[in-house]
Structure 1
């Protein structure tokens, strides 16, 4: 295993409009995100780590590396160290790290369950105003 986590994948956000005309950049939802576990719990080095760049730009490599700009998510390989070097104007990013729960995932819009049946029940409960108990 490498000491420093290396970039596995860079995901570009997609500009869109949701709800009541709210403009946003969607990183998850239009792409194949099977590499991500929707439930993240802080844990050891065999975990999934990714960052979402909110503002500015940074490099995530020991020497040089690609300058990653805002509205991108970066998924990293395993390693013992995480490295980030801000560009001249700085960077703000959200770092999420956790061990995959290794359970089946049934994903439907804002709802995540383990099976399709659980997902169907959740949507039925929403329709009947019983989902939040």
Structure 2
């Protein structure tokens, strides 16, 4: 008896929207443009990419977060993280910073360069209600600690979170054991190459192309996804992506949906309006950082 594996298809495209955040850092936002552009448990995805210091030099001065996780992945450049808990991290080429805001953290992310290219991503991942008020945490993951796997077709995969399954072997990334079970791959393919990988049928999945373009889905019914766009995928048991001419590079992100109400006000993400009001009150009164210390 043959078991048919269902390939996910491209269900929706969210084109990147030029905007700014922090003290004026220019970026491109896909997920998180509005309430209708979230994908449980993912809240937001920003790409920042510029060789003009004026687009990034002001950085992200001290600001608060509560109720979710931020994942910053740096492709090129140097940024320093500092928070009120005393954590200091140097985010360099190829490195990742995984911060759990939990019940509260105040941090800054400031460029440590005055010229050259700064390029990378920030992803926001929601926390379940039972974890929103847990102590804040921070992890600095240098590039040397992130596995890079060469594919038979000449492509490569950086395994940041989750586990890559290839030729009967499992390659785990440094981030494991979280309640949302995130998968975070950086996949690079030569022209015409195919990347196929199993995904949990119950997880939500999306791709973000940042170099080149791809086609998503089985060979008999692929759909195109152009550069700097997020593609929300349909239910299924595997992802199949084909690079167009010139090759492509994209993020593959998957996670277990929480299926809980989301209330958001800027840097606070909770389940109710009352919890948002409490977060604002706690921050303004100084209890915010006291609770997290």
User: How large is the RMSD of aligned CA atoms in angstroms?
Assistant: 2.2
Provide TM-score, normalisation by structure 1.
0.85
> Equivalent residue for 2:29?
26
Task: Select between 108-117 and 75-84 the one with higher mean Cα deviation.
Answer: 108-117
- 1:4 matched residue in structure 2: 7
**5+ unaligned residues in a row in structure 2: which ranges?**
43-125, 127-179, 183-198
Alignment match of 2:274 (pick from 117, 123, 128): 117
Matched pairs, number: 133
Return the alpha-carbon distance in structure 2 between the equivalents of residues 90 and 12 of structure 1: 20
Query: 1:21-79: CA deviations, max 9, x gaps?
Result: 32111112324125432334248311111111122211112126333122111111111
Structure 2 CA distance for partners of 1:121 and 1:6, relative to 1, 3 Å: same
Is structure 2 residue 49 aligned with structure 1 residue 46? Answer: no
The answer to whether 1:88 aligns with 2:251 is: no
The structure where strand makes up a greater share of residues is 2
How far apart, CA to CA, are the structure 2 residues paired with 1:4 and 1:112? 33
> Is contact 2:40-2:259 (8 Å) kept?
no
Residue 70 (structure 1) aligns with: 227
Looking at structure 2, the residues matched to 92 and 131 of structure 1 have their Cα atoms a distance apart, in angstroms, of 40
Partner of 1:46, secondary structure, is coil
TM-score, L = length of structure 2: 0.42
Contact 1:2/1:78 (CA < 8 Å) preserved in 2?
no
Say whether the 8 Å CA contact 2:17–2:28 is kept in structure 1: yes
SS at match of 2:23: coil
Answer whether contact 1:15 1:25 (CA < 8 A) is retained.
yes
5+ residue gaps, structure 1, are none
